[in-house]
Structure 1
């Protein structure tokens, strides 16, 4: 299938959902449910985090730092070290 045809199909799928129901930024619960569904679609034996707890811990730490509304600068990071 050509890339143009793939984009055309994807566009139709996106238009079929009302805008207020497709934005994870506006609805954290929607994002949570989507992530849960995606995780359940993969067998437990193949889920990275269930197999590798260290990987899950690292992702959690990154996620906690990434949730800030403004990007951090190097100056911000050096203040934490003090």
Structure 2
């Protein structure tokens, strides 16, 4: 089963649970803990984290370059 089909089926299940009143509603503490666990899981993948860092550096470098070009054109 492809990912899009799987997501569609899961979405329908979630909608049905909400309509039925049996869906779990996260409180802020549960949501915080879930986010923390997700962040911990992602950060274990060092290669992925390095890729994120590279992209951030490239983006920042590009933004700085564009800002400098804008200042030069005004003078």
TM-score range, shorter chain: 0.3 to 0.5
Higher Rg: 2
The structure with the largest helix share of the pair is 2
Scaled by the length of structure 1, the TM-score of the pair is: 0.33
Scaled by the length of structure 2, the TM-score of the pair is: 0.35
